[in-house]
Amino acid sequence: MNNVNETVVRYLAAWNERDARRRRELVAATWTPDGSYVDAARDGRGHDAIDAMIARAQASFPGYRLNLVSGIEAHSGRVRFSWAAGGTPEAPLYLGGTDFAEMDDDGRFKAVVGFTDAAPAH
């Protein structure tokens, strides 16, 4: 299991990157070509769809940045980590989640499933 920590850092950077070209590069470096993401609110498969999905999430949550708030636990090609965002004057809602990913041998994500740990009050 190579580069799992780097992939998690790159994954969060992709969610946070507002420059379209750099975001697309981070997505391609994070997911396998047919990689997927799904949570209760959104999903995408393949680099183009994931990139567009993240762009829509960024438009819905301007000013939010995801930060890692847990260790990175990995075994058997799987990884778990938690993130949080918001709770600031510019991004007042506190958002949090735990993501689970299945990785390929290079540490890229084949499938990510997100669960919500803290949700907006409305």
Instruction: Name the site residues for a second copy (rule: CB under 8 A).
Output: 38-40, 43, 73, 75-76, 78, 80, 98, 100, 113, 115-116
Question: Cα 115 vs. chain centroid, distance in angstroms?
Answer: 11
Q: Indicate the residue among 65 and 78 with the shorter CB distance to a second copy.
A: 78
- For the bound state, the minimum distance from the C-beta of residue 11 to a second copy, rounded and expressed in Å, comes to 17
Residue closer to a second copy, measured from CB, 1 or 93:
1
State in angstroms the smallest separation of the CB of 73 from a second copy. 6
| Nearest to a second copy of 17, 99 (CB atom) | 99
In 3D space, the residue among 33, 20, 32, 39 whose CA is nearest the CA of residue 115 turns out to be: 39
Least gap, CB of 43 to a second copy (angstroms):
7
- Least separation in angstroms between CB 1 and a second copy: 12
Give one DSSP letter per residue of 42-98, joined into a string: -EEESHHHHHHHHHHHHHHSTT---EE-S--EEETTEEEEEEEEE-SSSS-SEEEEE
Nearer to a second copy, 25 or 39 (CB): 39
- If DSSP states are collapsed to H, E and C, what string results for 102-113? EECCCCCEEEEE
